[in-house]
Amino acid sequence: MTDSNDDKTISVAGKKTLTLKPSGMSQGTVRQDMGRGRTKAVVVETRKRRPMRPEDEKPITPVAPAAPVRAAEPAPAPVVQARPQQPTPAPRVQQGNNNQTNQRPPQQSHQPPRQNDRPRPVVLNHLSPEEMDARRRALADSQARDAQDAIRRAEEEKRRAAEEVVRKAAEAEEAARRAAEEAIRQAEAPAVAEPAVAEPAPTEARSDAPRPPQPASPAPAARRPDAAGAPAARPAPGAAVPGAVRGRREEKEDDDRGAARGGPVRGRVVRPEPAKPVTTRPKTDEERRRGKLTITTANVDGEDNARGRSLSAMRRRQEKFRRGQMQETREKISREVVLPETITIQELSQRMSERAVDVIKYLMKEGQMMKPGDVIDADLAELIAGEFGHTVRRVSESDVELGIFNVSDDDGELVSRPPVVTIMGHVDHGKTSLLDAIRHANVVSGEAGGITQHIGAYQVEQNGQKITFIDTPGHAAFTAMRARGAQATDIAILVVAADDSVMPQTIESINHAKAAGVPIIVAINKVDKHEADPQKVRNQLLQHEVFVESMGGEVLDVEVSAKTGKNLDKLLEAILLQAEILDLKANANRTAEGTVIEAQLDRGRGSVATVLVQKGTLRPGQIIVAGDVWGRVRALVTDKGDHVKEAGPATPVEVLGLSGTPQAGDKFAVVESESRAREISEYRQRLARDKAAARQSGQRGSLEQMMMQRQSVGIKEFPLVIKGDVQGSIEAIAGALEKLGTDEVRARIVHSGAGGITESDISLAEASNAAIIGFNVRANTQARQFAEREGIEIRYYNIIYDLVDDVKAAMSGLLSPERRETFIGNAEILEVFNITKVGKVAGCRVVEGKVERGAGVRLIRNDVVVHEGKLKTLKRFKDEVSEVPMGQECGMAFENYEDMRAGDVIECFRVEHITRTL
């Protein structure tokens, strides 16, 4: 500070931002030539090199800070002389205004002068009284602030001590709680050991208690007085008071900043802090993670300055450790894995209770890169399950049907059941009339054309015993119906007309009965006619290995008459006798199982299936599966139209409530739930689609099949849409139409189904250019109007004869006419003439038959046909004639051919096209 400064007030300023100015640097500007007469002013800095001096390498002696001044002293504190902290002599400080600022005159007057001091050429600037007062006020303010800071620090120390006591109590309580939990955990799982060996709880409690601070090792620097208030050291005479005040202020600022600064500050001495209480042993990793995280606990742990784990990491570690304990105690569980034919990796891992990632890793080790959604076969799945220690039970898709068919019954629960009798034979031999006579009904009058075209099931009672009859059609088209009737029966009645003897369908019925392994009872019908010859029938049956009792065999035969009712009682007695021999029994106390005899789609009742219960008892409300359809039984209707509550073994009933129309001959069974029924139905539908696709792919599989398909490309097709009343009739019609096909034309059934003709059928017929055939069904009004607009033909039939004949005639129209040649005559070429404007003309003689103009001719040379064509001209001398008889000569010329030679033979023929029929 100089005397020219007007501001005489001196105050201790607070923190200021320190800036460094470059020393030994000068700036100047020069003009830089930019070319083409242009210049630019550039600032140039010149930096001077600072020479190194020997005294710069000397260590800097730190200045000892002064003791804090007591707040109670009214007067300024006595000047404290700083003691040297190192034996090395401190460098001399030039005395100036600052060195003489706080010196007191009384002390200067009583200080004896030194003898050895020589006068120095130093000019002393004495302070004015105003400056002295300003400095005294600044010193007093600094001392007051120091006193306030001391009080504040004391209060802060008390607050920290109270918090430390509370924290220690909380830590002790937490340690006791953890010890109790650890004891419980060890009691539950004694086999699990802690990751680190923990000491007893009392020791841990003692380790948390504070210990008395240990004295730090003596340092060469001066120590700060302790907190007990030791008396401050007196300063030596001649010490600089402002330097002491400044030292105390800097020491206060260092104390406020705390121990965050590592290492001593240049020119200052860092006072050693009192030793922190430490534990007697390092805490385990688990204790450190679960304990309360504070600055003190973070510093006293084994990792003093390391960054601790976060709370989330600590929870994850605890969860991982707990999971590891559970996995250690849990043993590997071997499961039985059910493997279908194909399975995805994700589903396989779920069935094994393994992670899909582990399965993927195993497959990667085996060299297969797969995803969890990839499908693998049963062999690879079995290999994977075995690798993971599980057993395997392989199943196929067909296993869904296990347990619903062919279930064995206990012999103790079997009871007698009525026999099932099938009436078989040739058409018009009186099968239905015989059954009507037995039932006292008139079914024949209801059949179109007087022939049976449906399979029917009836039940009659004779002498208190019930007999179930199944009537089958006798027409050749109903072969499948007869086969189904033979398979579902116990006894077959072979009806043969005495006036017609054995016919083709009679032989077919015999073969069906033998294939089914059922006994045969021969009923020789129409014995009331005059031309009846029962003995002839018996003799003809011998040719087909049917030996009746009258001929020394075991087959029962009865001469009956459906018209007069002759010997009907004997026929029924023969049936009951045969049933008694067979000892027919069934279990009625089980789920129902049987066969679908017939199925149809009724407008008011929906899908109706005529079934024959063979085992168990069928009741309304049960869920059944029949073929690829399923449903809940809504009602059971007998052949007389009565609703019944149950249907026992060997009882034919109509079932209502199916989701679709099953195929005749399908097996049906009762299942426990809709899900099981839906699963079986979907499997059967999928199986049917696969078979159809296999048939299509098989047709174009091998080279031979491809050649056959190529040959069949030229085959003409007659598309049809067939709708019938029952499924069996549709099947019979399809079989009959299939037999009409030839190598040139065949019937292609675009769609077939049971039920009336609808608009969708008309649309399908329009798209495929097909004809619609309705058998015992009609089209509704909308379908009929739609067909009239689109020009689609609908034909209705109720007799299968007429249907087959009409389709046969329509298919015959698609046949190409037959080309037939008629030989006319031969002529021998005698000479060949070349005529202008005509060409070559052959002079011939007719040697056989005659030659006609316009007929077809062949030129034969050496018995080889060299040309075939037509005659262009036929002349007798110079006149054109229509024909030349045998023995005469004529001239002939061919169309577009002139290579004729003498000795060739000309064959003349006529071509005719004849319409063919199937």
**Residue 716 host element (H or E):** strand 716-724
Q: Which residue in the block uniquely carries the two structure tokens 């009080």?
A: 151
Q: Is 431 annotated as a binding residue?
A: yes
The closest of 742, 873, 872 to 814, measured between CA atoms, is 742
Q: Is 587 annotated as a binding residue?
A: no
Q: Is 751 annotated as a binding residue?
A: no
Which segments of 111-211 does DSSP mark as H helices, in order?
A: 129-188, 201-208
Q: Is 728 annotated as a binding residue?
A: no
List the structure tokens of 611.
Answer: 């079934």
> Cα 904 vs. chain centroid, distance in angstroms?
81
Q: Is 299 annotated as a binding residue?
A: no
Q: Is 475 annotated as a binding residue?
A: yes
Dist. CA 642–CA 656, nearest whole Å: 13
> Cα 526 vs. chain centroid, distance in angstroms?
67
Q: Is 324 annotated as a binding residue?
A: no
b/e for 354-389, b at 16 or more Cβ within 10 A?
bebeebbeebeeeeeebeeeeebebebbbebbeebe
Dist. CA 794–CA 771, nearest whole Å: 7
From the number of C-beta atoms within 10 Å of its C-beta (0-12, 13-18, 19+), residue 390 rates as buried
Q: Is 292 annotated as a binding residue?
A: no
Q: What's the one-letter identity of residue 846? A: V
Half-sphere exposure of 549 (CA within 13 A, CB side): 10
Which segments of 305-417 does DSSP mark as H helices, in order?
A: 311-329, 345-352, 356-365, 378-387
Question: Contact 296/276 with Cβ under 8 angstroms?
Answer: yes
Question: Contact 646/674 with Cβ under 8 angstroms?
Answer: no
Segments of 725-876 assigned E as strands: 745-754, 771-775, 794-797, 818-835, 839-849, 851-852, 856-861, 864-876
Q: Is 743 annotated as a binding residue?
A: no
Q: Is 913 annotated as a binding residue?
A: no
Q: Is 425 annotated as a binding residue?
A: yes
Q: Is 432 annotated as a binding residue?
A: yes
Greatest Cα pair distance in the chain:
190
DSSP H helix total and E strand total for the chain = 21, 33
The closest of 814, 819, 583, 605 to 716, measured between CA atoms, is 814
Q: Is 430 annotated as a binding residue?
A: yes
Q: Is 528 annotated as a binding residue?
A: yes
The closest of 630, 629, 633, 606 to 619, measured between CA atoms, is 633
Half-sphere exposure of 465 (CA within 13 A, CB side): 15
**What residues contact 470, with CB distance under 8 A and at least 6 apart?**
420, 421, 422, 423, 455, 456, 457, 458, 485, 488, 489, 597, 612, 652
Dist. CA 378–CA 348, nearest whole Å: 10
Residue 647: DSSP 8-state:
B
- CA distances in angstroms from 876 to 841, 844, 855, 870, listed in the order given: 12, 10, 17, 18
Q: Is 126 annotated as a binding residue?
A: no
Q: Would you list which residues are annotated within the binding site?
A: 425-432, 471-475, 525-528
Q: Would you list which residues are annotated within the binding site for GTP?
A: 425-432, 471-475, 525-528
